[in-house]
Structure 1
Amino acid sequence: MLGQKKTARSNGGLQGKRWLQHHIFSIKTLSLVVLAVQTSTMVLLLRYSRTSASGNHQQYIITTAVLLSEILKLTLSLGFLHIETGKMAKVTFDRLYRDVVLNVWETLKLAIPAFLYVVQNNLLFIALSNLDAATYQVTYQLKILTTAIFSWVILGKRLTPLHWLSLCFLMLGVSLVQVESSSWNENNSSLKASEVKGPLGDLDHPVEGLDESEDAPLPDVNEAHPNTEVSWLLGIFAVFVSCISSGFSGVYFERLVKKGTQPSLVIRNIQLGVFSIVFAVIAVSSDWSSIKEGGFFQGYTLTTWGVVLIQAFGGLIVSVTMKYADNILKGFATSLSIVMCTLVSWLVFGDAAPSTQFIIGTTIVISSTVLYGFAPQATVTSQMRGSQFSSTDSPHKVELRKRSVSDVV
């Protein structure tokens, strides 16, 4: 009897360890953590790099950081191709000539998503220069809505009623967060205006007892947008345009993936990288006067280089982890990222404490994101078989899923 109890206990302990290994220490769980940490780190580090500059330190130029990131991405892709071809230079060049140069039509198809990705990266810097990390993360989830609409219109992808319900909740949650953020910025703008006029009086007239030869100690405000309401509107506009760009580029690439034979993931990254660098150079040329005056690397710090590195490596990390992740896991990762960004933005960066309305709106957004991942896909015809790939995925993720599914089939 005692032996049976010991055996049962040992079996129960063994099952418990297996459950922990299967659920807690599985590759999917690791992917969840990596996705959440990568997304949060990128947003928070970029936000810090744009707001931590002191009055004596000039901010870096956004377009130069985007260009460096694209150059590093292409360099990494070329390095991976060299490894893939057995580290033989002749074979590597032959592969590039055959798949990139001779296959010019397939390469040119990547010009549109490459342009959109460069636009998104620049808008990311603009958005986080004017919005706190939490507001940005919540609002950026509207890319789920834009992607769903483009998938419906362009790919004819059918959405279930549960999908549409989750999208309606998503819009409601984002609206609550935006109303709260807008009211806070209006109050903050009025407060800063009173601070300017309060201690110094009317700035159009000298203050009695103040030496006109000395500079008056003005409050620390955003030089580009001293009105915080204008700054907030610019940030929100950047996020909205980025969501539209993200939705269209993802669906466009998904359409490319479904047609004909596809080159390897490394070749796709190189094709994207070539066009991305071209468009990034064009964007840098718009800031040529500032670069000529202060230099290409003006305002660069260790944090800036960290942003460049994590932007370059982040896409590769997400590409690998998404091989083991699914829509549900991606929804949970997004939820964790929103919570992490909200807490760090408040506790570390000193942004406004989350109000009740903000918490309610964020909870609705997180719930709708997870619900969208849980919702079963609508049945499709064999011609639309490719719609099993998530249209919210980037080109790297779509390509990986297509290859893994083809291996199984």
Structure 2
Amino acid sequence: MDRKRECLLGYFSSNATSSQSPNPEFNLNIDGNDTTMQETLLVDPGSLSNQDSSYTAEDLCGQEILNTIVSEIKKIGYFAILADETTDSSHQGQLCFCIRYVSEDAFIKEEYISYGAMEFVDAKSITEEILSRVTSIGLNIDNCIAQCYDGCSTMSDHISGVATRIMKHAPLAIYLHRVSHRLNLVLNDSSKLTEIRRMFDIVFVTINCINDSSGRRNVFDAQFISYCSTSFYKVNNVSRFRHSRPFHKGEKDKANEFKTLWLERTVYSTNAKFPGLLKSFPVISTEIREISPLEYALETIKTSSTELKELISSIKSGNSQFINQLSMRLNGIIEAAVMGGLKNYEDAFFTNDYLCSNPAHEDEIIELKELIREQIEVIHVNEYSVNFYHSLLKIRPDHWVNFHWTRDKREVDTF
């Protein structure tokens, strides 16, 4: 029995077909009604040898895996594309194409689809190749909601790059600069400093030292401190406490209270850390200062971004009890009518009038813009899981659509 028949016999051992094969061994497995086996037998002349490429098991397995991936994506409806162009050892351009999506059981999956040669590696050729590969596997490019590449001009140029060309076919397919590539750029740039290079050398030696011995690896795993353990110190071992009282300076703007909202912050320091043996400790110092509206906005965005990342991380780890909390957090960020939203910060601080009246605040305004950009990116990077949970999160889909369009406008107007 040749390789193809062996592969099919093993794969369909529990799913027989009504068609009969000339091979007596094969007839042991064809008493059922499996249509896939039936179609295979009808087109199989039974005369090809195992040297024929059509009889290789890897072709059958590869197509079966691809069909499974595509069927999962079609059930969800939306997907993101990932592509990277590289040159192999023979100086031939190659394009690696992957798809990221959220499965029905709420797991983010990133699946390899194809890897093939490219005669030309310009933006037009890469775009045509990506569109061709999406179509060839039976997916609709209109359902693409994100695209992730490296930051080279061929991929990211806002006029004629691959990302811009893809968005003409899929308007919701926002471009995201690949995080690993960004990290690599940062590390390469920081390695110019002698201290950073020494640090990497120490890390490299430490990793090799631990991984080269199973005993040392076990000791390291036993001493590793989890996030839950480190987060303990956020609310324990504390000796400084603060109290903030909001108030308005000048005439309150009813349309946007953030313009005049100040904080009076009092910081208390105790002579011992809480929790302790005693219920109270003497206060040894007190500091009082006023926080301007812009400083307050910076603090709020930083805190919101940190909490958002922690909530998303917890839900990805399977802690579904945080879903409602994430819902409230996202509503506060996306909808301007709830908890202020990002739009009120833009209206309060990103105007020419405010900058002319407060030229010394230029650096803080730039920092606030960058924090808002980062927060928007966090939402979009994790949007697949959020879209999947939008019914549970009680976020109407039209809010996400509006958020897509307003995000583009914010980047033009404020960044």
TM over 0.5: no
Which structure's residues are more often strand, by fraction?
Answer: 2
Tell which has more relative contact order, 1 or 2 (C-alpha 8 A, sep 6+).
1
TM-score, normalising length: structure 2: 0.22
| Higher Cα Rg, which structure | 2
